[in-house]
Amino acid sequence: MLTIWLNYMVKKRKDDTTEGKILAAARKVFTTKGMAGARMQDIADEAGINKAMLHYYFKDKEKLFEVVFMEGAGEFFPRINKLFESDASLEEMITRFVEEYLDAMQRSPYLPWFIMNELNRDADTFLEKIWAAPNRPNPAKFLALIEKEIKKGNIKRISPLHLLLNLLSMTIFPFIAKPMITRNLHLDEMQFRYVIEQRKTEIPKFIMDSIRK
Amino acid sequence: MLTIWLNYMVKKRKDDTTEGKILAAARKVFTTKGMAGARMQDIADEAGINKAMLHYYFKDKEKLFEVVFMEGAGEFFPRINKLFESDASLEEMITRFVEEYLDAMQRSPYLPWFIMNELNRDADTFLEKIWAAPNRPNPAKFLALIEKEIKKGNIKRISPLHLLLNLLSMTIFPFIAKPMITRNLHLDEMQFRYVIEQRKTEIPKFIMDSIRK
DNA sequence: ACTTTTGTTAACCATTTGGTTAAACTATAT
DNA sequence: ATATAGTTTAACCAAATGGTTAACAAAAGT
């Protein structure tokens, strides 16, 4: 009993346990090489442990991938959804959406890429597993809010669908195209982070300037 | 001699030759499964030919991939570059950029995804091969034009970099996120095409509304 | 103390996969 | 007709890869 308590208090940091090391390694390898390109041996090497441990802690490749994937998606979707469900003003909602999204992606820059990738590879399997979850972002309320604002005459007449697409595009795309952007515009890691930081204000300003009457 | 001429006149359509069938199949398999996920047998099956033919016409997997890839990139980059190099007005350049890009992508919807994917997977190998080509889009002139318009007082003071990012994002992203968009907004193939068609006018309008003084 | 459970390793296995080969078949040229 | 070059096939091969096993070590429970 005492040992349990002690163990609890002195709990190894997540990344120091074998399981943690595997997850960190898997995250890295899966997200750079994709599900198909990732090698179990690569993950084991990256984690500095024996390949058999991967199967000890996570049944097989499929399961390990799923855990890594869900871990990411589970952090992503809920906060977005919560925002869509809130009753903030349009401008506030856009501003906070961009901020939250960009922050989440700064923390896990691999995620949007990862999700798009698997979605593209095997949409059905993925969607049945993840998309059905109760935390799936539902843009309906956001679209409705735009229509309301148009009717009230607060903003220009614009297609809510295209406004939503524009918002998502400008927020997410830079992370997906990061290798292209950094290379072609000669940005290093720091500069890229800085550009993203700027976008937290640039995107909302850009949008509001466009739709404001 | 006669037979040669006849053969020329009655030339099989590209897609009926073995080589053509392989390329079409490879395009399909590579772009849905990625380089790592694609199986040579899958490509052979898709083409309805023997696996050995793949190696007969295209040395190995790497080479076949490269041909498919270059074929796509070669259609993509030059037209963009040509536009950036032209001396159209800013609004015209933006409008034509969106049109050309969206048209190219309607024709090869897999391409942007494909390029991003491989760029993400193995940026260095890819960039050394393709990026160094003389047709690489060079945004410098576009950025310079924006600055000039700002100085002339024709448009608002806006970061040229962010304007470029916004333009690229809004144009390309919907194709990368297509599976997510169609699913989450309940759009079928036709409706998606229609939305894209709308964006040819929506995006330029959205941008100009935002930057016009 | 010793038994049980949990964690770890190296060697091994079965299957998949990219790639080869040699033989057969086809069209063309001489 | 026969040789020649180009095309296609089935069978085969070596390497890579996901996964298993049996032995062993450490920790925890009694």
Burial class (CB in 10 A: 0-12, 13-18, 19+), B213: exposed
Q: Is A187 on the interface with B (CB under 8 A)?
A: no
Residue A6 has pLDDT above 60, yes or no: no
Question: Is A116 within 8 Å of B176 when comparing Cβ atoms?
Answer: yes
Poorest-pLDDT segment among A15-19, A98-102, B80-84, B183-187:
B80-84
The answer to whether residues A111 and A72 touch, using CB atoms and an 8 Å cutoff, is yes
pLDDT mean across residues, chain A: 85
Q: What is the CATH number of domain A69-211?
A: 1.10.357.10
Distance, CA of A172 to chain centre: 9
Q: Give pLDDT, residue A135.
A: 63
Task: Answer whether B57's CB lies under 8 Å from B19's CB.
Answer: yes
Tell me, what's the pLDDT at B94? 95
Mutation for A interface: B62, B110, B116, most A CBs within 10 A: B116
Per-residue model confidence (pLDDT) at position A136: 66
Phi/psi of residue B81, nearest 5 degrees = -60, -45
For chain A, first and last CA: distance in Å?
68
Nearest CA to B198 among A159, A172, A169? A159
Q: Considering only CB atoms, which chain A residues are within 8 Å of B127? A: 183
Task: Work out the percent of chain A whose per-residue pLDDT is above 70.
Answer: 85
Cβ–Cβ below 8 Å for B161 and A209: no
Tell me whether B40 touches chain A (CB under 8 Å): no
Does the pLDDT value for residue A73 go beyond 60? Answer: yes
Residue A141 has pLDDT above 80, yes or no: yes
Residue B167 structure tokens: 């333009």
Are B209 and A209 an interchain contact pair (Cβ–Cβ within 8 Å)? yes
User: How far off is chain B from A153, nearest CA to CA, in Å?
Assistant: 17
Confidence band for B115, pLDDT divided at 50, 70 and 90: confident
pLDDT at A134: 59
Set of chain B residues whose Cβ sits within 8 Å of the Cβ of A116: 176-177, 180
Q: What is the mean pLDDT of residues A73-85?
A: 77
Higher-pLDDT residue of A147, B82? A147
Residue B11 pLDDT class (50, 70, 90 cuts)? very low
Band of the pLDDT at B9, cuts 50, 70, 90? very low
The larger pLDDT score, comparing residue B192 to residue B108, is at: B192
Q: Which residues contact A37 (CB under 8 A, 6 or more apart)?
A: B34, B35, B36, B37, B121
Whether residue B162 is predicted with pLDDT greater than 90 in this model: the reply is: yes
Q: How far apart are CA B35 and CA B30, in angstroms?
A: 6
Give chain C positions with protein CB within 7 A. Answer: 7-11, 16-22, 28-29
Q: Name the residue closest to D27, CA to C1'.
A: A3
Please indicate whether, in this complex, the C-beta atoms of B36 and A32 are within 8 angstroms of each other.
no
Tokens, residue A136: 């799936």
**pLDDT given for residue B213 in this prediction:** 86
Mean pLDDT within A134-155: 88
Per-residue pLDDT tens for A100-137? 989 988 887 777 877 787 777 666 666 666 665 556 67
| Residue A89 burial (C-beta neighbours within 10 Å; 0-12, 13-18, 19+) | exposed
Take residue A100 and report the two structure tokens written for it: 């939250």
Q: Is the pLDDT confidence value at A12 over 60?
A: no
Top pLDDT among B124 and B178 is at B178
Among A80-84, B117-121, B148-152, top mean pLDDT goes to B148-152
Domain locations in chain B as residue ranges: 12-58, 69-211
In the structure encoding, which two tokens stand for residue B148, read together? Answer: 């000039």
Minimum CA–C1' distance nucleotide for A58: D19
The amino acid at residue A193 is R
**Phi, psi (5° rounding) for residue B201?**
-100, -30
A41-50, B35-44, B109-118: which range is least confident on average?
B109-118
CATH number of B12-58: 1.10.10.60
Q: Distance, in angstroms, between A27 CA and closest chain B CA?
A: 14
| Per-residue confidence (pLDDT) for residue B5, from 0 to 100 | 40
Counting every residue written for chain B, the total comes to: 213
User: Residue-wise over A35-62: b if at least 16 C-beta within 10 A, else e?
Assistant: bebbebebbbebbebeeebbeebbeebe
Residue of A164 and B82 predicted with greater confidence: A164
Q: Check: CATH 1.10.486.10 for A14-58?
A: no
Shortest CA gap B55–chain A (Å): 22
Footprint on protein of nucleic strand D, Cβ below 7 A: A 3-4, 7, 38-41, 51-52, 55, 59-62; B 18, 49-53, 56
Tell me the C-alpha to C-alpha distance, in Å, between residue B99 and each of B96, B118, B196. 5, 25, 10
From the list B59, B68, B61, B60, the residue with the least C-alpha distance to B38 is B61
pLDDT tens, position by position, B75-108: 777 777 777 788 889 999 999 999 998 998 888 7
Lowest model confidence (mean pLDDT) among A3-12, A16-25, A38-47: A3-12
Percent of chain B scoring above 90 in pLDDT: 54
pLDDT at A195: 97
Q: Name the protein residue, with chain letter, whose CA is nearest the C1' of C28.
A: B3
φ and ψ of B155, to 5 deg: -135, 170
